[in-house]
Structure 1
Amino acid sequence: MKEEIGFKELEKNIETTIYEGILKLGYNPDEALSIYYDLDLLNYLLQKDFIHNIQCLDHLQEFITYVNPRLYNIDILLEKGRFKFTVPKEGIAYIYKENQNNNFLTELIKLVKTHNFTLEDVLAVFGHYSNEFVCEEMNNSEFQYVIYFKDSNIDKFKYCFSFDEMGGYYHRLLDYSFNRIMEE
């Protein structure tokens, strides 16, 4: 059962990361897409404690079978010490179709693609989906604000924003990645 929970978490992360990319760059039905993971993030998502990349890669063969009905012949290989996940065009089509109801992310990406937005604009997007969100000013060289929903069922990511004379920028992070940045 723990295997399936970890596999579900990894699959959902792949889906939402690729969908975010589609929203930013556009959807091309003829393209495969690749994303990269470090071992520590995979351990977090899979709820494992692999020490070596090869151990994790062996385990991911089961994941390939698990996601095949949805993401088709996903390819996972080691590249320069990181795991490269390549989702074929059929899997990308599935992700595109299944995530089109993610109105929050669609609206947020539409806003941030302009680079000409304010913190108030971002807060308005969050407020459109729930009044129960957190906005904290941060003392961090990477970003100035972190914003997230109290109810992770709406969206489980922390959105870290920076504003300067060139406009606004963001990073979308899982709790794990956010906490690691804050420890640095």
Structure 2
Amino acid sequence: MTLVTSKRTKAKVGWSPPMSGMLCLNVDRAYVSSLQHGGIGGVLHNEKGEFIVGFAYKVPNISSTYHTEYLAVKSGLELIQALGMSSVALMSDYLEAIKAVTEKDQDFSTLRIIVEEIKDLLSDLHFVGVHHTYRSANHVAHRLAGFGFDSDILFMLCVCFECPTVVIV
């Protein structure tokens, strides 16, 4: 947990489980503009915080941080769809991306095709919550995105039926 402070309040910020019966998908990106590639990562947990599946990989020809985050969100939602799951809380630490994919109006940015694809994936889900989270609560997805950034291969963690008692990150 990270302590977030301001002049008025102090609060502990950490990962929070989704509502009962839902899964939590945390996604993140890694991007360096001079290299024109990025890394994306995500992790899916159940309501108890137990690991289900994660992903991380490098994405070439990236134009911006937005572009990279949108691809992380899209990949996570495609994974949810492939697993046949329909109730998920999507978490990202990139507030602008969350705003863009939840906006009811049509997107007119240069990345509008990806945004509209994400909106279509979201509309296919039975129940979805799309939320902003602090980076300190998105640590595993952030580390996976960094791994993807440095990797040249798709890295998909297997589904975990019996979670280990210790995870090294």
Q: TM-score, normalised by structure 2?
A: 0.31
Considering fraction of residues, name the structure with more strand: 2
Task: Pick the structure with greater CA Rg.
Answer: 1
Q: Name the TM-score, length of structure 1 as normaliser.
A: 0.29
